[in-house]
């Protein structure tokens, strides 16, 4: 899955729409194969959300991933950070974004690496600044 997501990311950064569409099809096939083999998983929903062009669909998918993660007592910090970013940047919903970030504060303090903690802190600061 990592190889497929990296390829889509490179095509996106290169602004190659045709290649991105082709690689997105491959990524969707990889995700569907994983879903068929292992069932639905928050990481799969989160990955699909990460590559959506529509912020509305991203929010729906992140919330579905979050619900599934909570039901299965799985980590939520990466989902909440991504959801908060979309809420803040695309919908200007600072209070909703801050609520998502605060909901994973304990997890951030115990399980996050330095880059996750930096991103969480940056987003929280942006929420406070609005």
In CATH terms, 41-130 corresponds, of 1.10.10, 3.30.1380, 3.30.160, 1.25.40, to: 1.25.40
* pLDDT given for residue 86 in this prediction: 98
Separation between Cα atoms, residue 103 and residue 112, nearest integer Å = 14
Separation between Cα atoms, residue 35 and residue 67, nearest integer Å = 17
User: Mapped to the 3 state alphabet, what secondary structure does 53-77 carry?
Assistant: CCHHHHHHHHHHHHHHHHHCCCCCH
pLDDT, greater one: 22 or 54: 54
Confidence of residue 13 (pLDDT cuts 50, 70, 90): confident
* pLDDT given for residue 123 in this prediction: 98
Q: Where are the domains of the chain?
A: 1-39, 41-130
Average pLDDT, rounded, for the chain: 91
CB 123 within 8 A of CB 104: no
């Amino acid at each position: 899955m990592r190889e497929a997501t990296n390829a889509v990311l490179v095509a996106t950064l290169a602004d190659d729409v045709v290649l991105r569409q082709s690689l997105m099809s491959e990524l969707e096939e990889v995700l569907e194969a994983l879903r068929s083999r292992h069932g639905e998983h928050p990481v799969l929903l989160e990955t699909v959300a990460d590559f959506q062009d529509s912020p509305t669909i991203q929010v729906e998918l992140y919330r579905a991933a979050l619900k599934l993660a909570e039901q299965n007592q799985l980590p939520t910090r990466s989902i909440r950070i991504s959801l908060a970013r979309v809420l803040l940047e695309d919908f200007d919903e600072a209070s909703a974004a801050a609520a998502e970030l605060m909901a994973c504060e304990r997890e951030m303090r115990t399980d996050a690496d330095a880059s996750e903690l930096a991103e969480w802190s940056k987003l929280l600061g942006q929420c406070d600044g609005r």
